[in-house]
């Protein structure tokens, strides 16, 4: 259980460090993640509309 907590703190520290040192790249990464989620949701919608018609 202790290892999980340490890994979580290290990950949070890395994210904070990345946000402060490279904010433009961090924003691009977040945009990329959201674009991937939106693309996946669109593909699911296409699948279900094809199945239901």
Tens digits of per-residue pLDDT, 38-47?
999 999 999 9
Let me know how long the chain is.
53
d(CA 13, CA 20): 11
Describe the crossing of helices 23-52 and 2-21 by its angle, rounded to 10 degrees.
110
Tens digits of per-residue pLDDT, 3-34?
999 999 999 999 899 889 999 998 999 999 99
- Residue span of the structural domain in which 2 resides: 1-52
Burial of 26 (0-12, 13-18, 19+ CB in 10 A): middle
| DSSP assignment string, 11-26 | HHHHHHHHHHH-HHHH
How many domains does the chain divide into? 1
């Amino acid at each position: 259980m202790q290892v999980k907590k340490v890994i979580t703190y290290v990950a949070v520290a890395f994210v904070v460090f990345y946000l402060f040192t490279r904010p433009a790249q961090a924003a691009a990464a977040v945009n990329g993640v959201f674009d991937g989620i939106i693309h996946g949701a669109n593909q699911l919608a296409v699948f279900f509309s094809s199945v239901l018609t």
